[in-house]
Amino acid sequence: MADDKIKLSFLEKFRDAFNLKDHSDITIKTDTTEFHAHQVILKLRTSFFESATKEESGFLESEDKIVTIEEHSTHSVWRFLKWIYTGDYSDESNNIELGEDDDLGVLKHCRVYALADFLGAPELKQLAAKKLSAAFSSNWVKADFPQVVREIYLTTNKQDKDIRGAAITSAKSHITELLQMQDFKDVLLDVAEFSGGLIIGASTAVLASRTPSQCLTCTCVQKYNCNSCGHMHY
């Protein structure tokens, strides 16, 4: 059995392979930067690279081993590759090396999530959603929240309950101050799925907190169906 020091040394060398030109057999391009990567590592982490690099796939990437990722920020691609090689990514910016300003605030996690969805990396989606939820709790900025909600619902679908749920939970926690903002009211009108999720969540919480109601003139107890679990309550 390998001891912990040997395992740690192996993992450190694996991390050192990030953006290392030696032995690289695929290039990932963005608007401002090129990254050197390794197909075998990418294929272990994402379904996109498993398909795109097969010769029979017909993808241009399978011929020249250059993958161009458009419509996603360079910082998102950088964080994606950091996760590929280390299992995590940082909130810190890398503006000088990447030649591009970083995504602002918690939007960096939203955009990592969107890229992970595009590239077929469900574990990275989970990580980005958790980081977003943690950021909402530790560094919530009221002025940024409407834009964050719009982006989340523009780049995800109904199956992405983790990241959408993080937005709804945060909104419920700060609803009083949010309702004082016209930008947030506009979001409620424009983004129906967010508004619906917020209302359903609030209604479920109210029903869950209800106490039995007994008639004052007899011993009967009022019944009601819970919208969350569907059970009859007394």
Asked if 102 and 171 sit in the same domain, the reply is no
Indicate the burial class of 3 (C-beta count within 10 angstroms; 0-12, 13-18, 19 or more).
exposed
Asked if 10 and 59 sit in the same domain, the reply is yes
d(CA 79, CA 109): 10
Look at residue 131 in the predicted model and tell me its pLDDT.
Answer: 97
Across 201-212, average pLDDT = 50
Across 77-90, average pLDDT = 93
Could you list the residue range(s) of the whole structural domain that residue 204 is in? 140-210+219-228
Asked if 115 and 1 sit in the same domain, the reply is yes
The most confident of the ranges 56-60, 176-180, 207-211 is: 176-180
Residue at 173: amino acid letter? S
**What are the C-alpha distances in Å from 58 to residues 52, 54, 63, 64, 67?**
8, 8, 8, 12, 13
pLDDT tens digits along 145-174: 999 999 999 999 999 999 999 999 999 999
Asked if 171 and 95 sit in the same domain, the reply is no
Domain boundary among 87, 120, 153: 120
- pTM of the prediction? 0.79
Does residue 62 carry a pLDDT above 80? no
Asked if 66 and 110 sit in the same domain, the reply is yes
Q: Are 127 and 83 in contact (CB under 8 A)?
A: yes
Asked if 97 and 189 sit in the same domain, the reply is no
Asked if 15 and 83 sit in the same domain, the reply is yes
| Residue 128 maps to a domain | no
Contact partners, residue 114, CB within 8 Å, separation at least 6: 72, 76, 155, 156
Place of tokens 């059970």: 231
pLDDT tens digits along 173-193: 999 999 999 999 999 999 999
Asked if 100 and 8 sit in the same domain, the reply is yes
Asked if 78 and 160 sit in the same domain, the reply is no
pLDDT tens digits along 2-45: 565 655 555 566 666 676 677 788 999 998 899 999 888 898 88
Look at residue 223 in the predicted model and tell me its pLDDT.
Answer: 56
Asked if 114 and 203 sit in the same domain, the reply is no
The SS3 call for residue 1 is coil
Q: How many domains does the chain have?
A: 2
Q: Are 119 and 46 in contact (CB under 8 A)?
A: yes
Burial 193-232 (b: 16+ CB within 10 A, else e): ebbebbeebeeeeeeeeeeeeeeeeeeeeeeeeeeeeeee
Asked if 18 and 106 sit in the same domain, the reply is yes
Asked if 186 and 73 sit in the same domain, the reply is no
C-alpha 148 chain-centroid distance: 12
Lowest mean pLDDT among 35-49, 54-68, 105-119: 54-68
